[in-house]
Structure 1
Amino acid sequence: MMDMVKTQLAIGAYAFVAWIVLYLLISTILRMWSRTSHLSKYHRAQVTESFVSGVQGVACAVVGIATVSACRHDVMGAKYPLSLYYSSIGTAYFIYDLWAMFMSHYPKKAYVGPISFLMSYFKKNILMVLHHIAIIFVLFPSLVYYSSMGDFFCGCFFCTELSTPFVNARVILSRLGLKNSKLYVVNGLVMLTVFAMCRVALFPLMYAAYLSQQTIAPSHIQALLSVPLRCHLSCLVVLAPQIYWLNLMVKGAMAVLRKDASSLVDKDD
């Protein structure tokens, strides 16, 4: 057990350094790229954070899909070593991302005092900060170290990151001045669809997969009650902000569609 913990800590430490190095590398490239030379330090930090987040999203989703595919035959017992290793890499990323979010916010508010700045930072990002902390200290430990369930469920949580590249592409396109382009609209629609599938609909599908293979309990209700409370709470902690963000995305998409519709009416007039 101690050897596994040491291995996981070593992987996490190396991964944390790798995420920082990737951030600094992309930041340097953006400073040299003429297309982003006009961006403020604040906006460039946002684009850099979005690029790194997109890389993590792709990597995490690939691991998740591989884990689900390998363990779908036995959702309660099958193990997949890659999911265990990536749990340390993912934890390191979310720790790094707290710093990256801070860097994205800092240049804009650098003129205020340190206490006022920290209050402003947490007030603006409180939901995202709590989301990261829950993943670091609740979700990953409960899935990897304190759960007797198979890695299928860990893979499902990894699959939620499939929407991340599209979310970050939206930020990047906006900062590059392409917010009114067709590419931005198409990416937004794909983002909304993938987000709804991978971050909201995935949860009932995950429970359905469990119930479909549950033969010990005499009923589905009793099968659900037999699941440890921490598992239900972990799902709720992750799902709640997803529903909130999906609601914001739907409102944003409706606003864009209404704007496009009104533009067509004006042209016809």
Structure 2
Amino acid sequence: MEAVKTQVAVGAYALVAWFCLYLLIANVLRMWTRTSRLPHAHRAHIAESFVSGVQGVACGVVGVLTVRACWGDVMHDQYPMAVYYSSIGTAYFIYDLWAMYKSSSATEKKPPDCFVQSLVSYLKEDILMIVHHITIVTLLFPAMVYHSPMGHFFIGCFFCTELSTPFVNARVILSRLGQKNSRIYFVNGLLMMTVFAMCRVAMFPVMYAVYLSQQTVAPSHIHALASIPIMCHLSCLLVLAPQIYWLGLMVKGALAVMQCSSLSSAKDD
């Protein structure tokens, strides 16, 4: 019972901290000369992306530390920091639902009192991301941290998926600052796509491969896979599906940019 109270307290403090960080960045952007003249929607997206990047770095670091600490026995090794960060991560995803709404409503050209229209527009525009957040808060974290018989190695692997988040958010920030045609934007895009593919897609088969390599008791890999709770397989599938979709969008975008660059070079020649 004491552990539950501690987790709730950590989550509550973290939720306040995420909101405070967002408001701090929003105020800095409003006062900073370079960003004070940007549209309100741009500043909202930058603030949201900055906080998301901070969360991505923190979660990724905890994930790497957890994987390293639990690599020897993926089914039994525990790492307390992973459990505590699950509360911090849950608080972030709850906060981020609000932050995404703020960015969406700032983009809308409706009067500020049209809450219903803004909410409906937000739900239509970001439904995939909303479902992704709700799934993580209500299914993934509880299933992995509190109900799974497996070790914290797998929690660390899921945390490592956030390592690509800083690059994704840097792309948004650079775009809002008018750096879409800069070299740093292009390099960040390549890094984003590479790290995203490694940490959010390739991570899943690697995670299963490491698990199977240590399951010497089971008569076969099929029996070892069958011993995993169905909730774990479903959680992996629910998280992996949108990652593949987003990676496809990134690849299409990268190909489009490369095609435009080659056409521009051909015209110059």
> Structure 1 length as normaliser, TM-score?
0.98
Contact 2:101 2:119 in 1 (8 A): no
Letter paired with 2:106 = P
Query: Match of 1:91?
Result: 90
Letter paired with 1:172 = I
CA distance in 1 between counterparts of 2:152 and 2:241 reads 22
- Report the Cα offset of residue 68 of structure 1: 0.1
Structure 1 segments, 4+ long, off by >4 Å, are none
Query: Match of 2:44?
Result: 45
- Report the Cα offset of residue 39 of structure 1: 1.2
CA distance in 2 between counterparts of 1:117 and 1:174 reads 24
CA distance in 2 between counterparts of 1:113 and 1:89 reads 32
Query: Match of 1:25?
Result: 24
Aligned Cα root-mean-square deviation (Å): 0.9
Letter paired with 1:99 = W
Contact 2:104 2:118 in 1 (8 A): no
Specify whether residues 28 and 136 from structure 1 end up closer, same or farther in structure 2 by C-alpha distance, changes over 3 A only: same
Query: Match of 1:16?
Result: 15
- Report the Cα offset of residue 231 of structure 1: 0.3
Determine helix, strand or coil for the equivalent of 2:202: helix
1:5-64 alpha-carbon deviations (Å, 9 max, x no partner)? 110000000000000000011111111111112211111100000000000000000000
- 1:258 to 2:259 alignment: yes
Letter paired with 2:128 = L
- Report the Cα offset of residue 116 of structure 1: 2.5
CA distance in 1 between counterparts of 2:21 and 2:118 reads 26
Alignment of 1:226-237 (within 5 A): 226-237=227-238
Determine helix, strand or coil for the equivalent of 2:126: helix
Letter paired with 1:188 = G
CA distance in 1 between counterparts of 2:122 and 2:88 reads 26
Query: Match of 1:267?
Result: 268
Query: What are structure 1's unaligned runs of at least 5 residues?
Result: none
- 1:221 to 2:216 alignment: no
Q: How many residues align?
A: 267
CA distance in 2 between counterparts of 1:245 and 1:155 reads 22
Letter paired with 2:74 = V
1:96-145 alpha-carbon deviations (Å, 9 max, x no partner)? 00000011111232438333322211000000000000000000000100
- 1:149 to 2:150 alignment: yes
CA distance in 2 between counterparts of 1:107 and 1:85 reads 33
Contact 2:193 2:247 in 1 (8 A): yes
Alignment of 1:182-201 (within 5 A): 182-201=183-202
Determine helix, strand or coil for the equivalent of 1:66: helix
Query: Match of 1:246?
Result: 247
Kindly, what percent of the aligned residue pairs are identical? 67
Letter paired with 2:47 = T
CA distance in 1 between counterparts of 2:39 and 2:60 reads 31
Contact 2:15 2:88 in 1 (8 A): yes
CA distance in 1 between counterparts of 2:36 and 2:146 reads 46
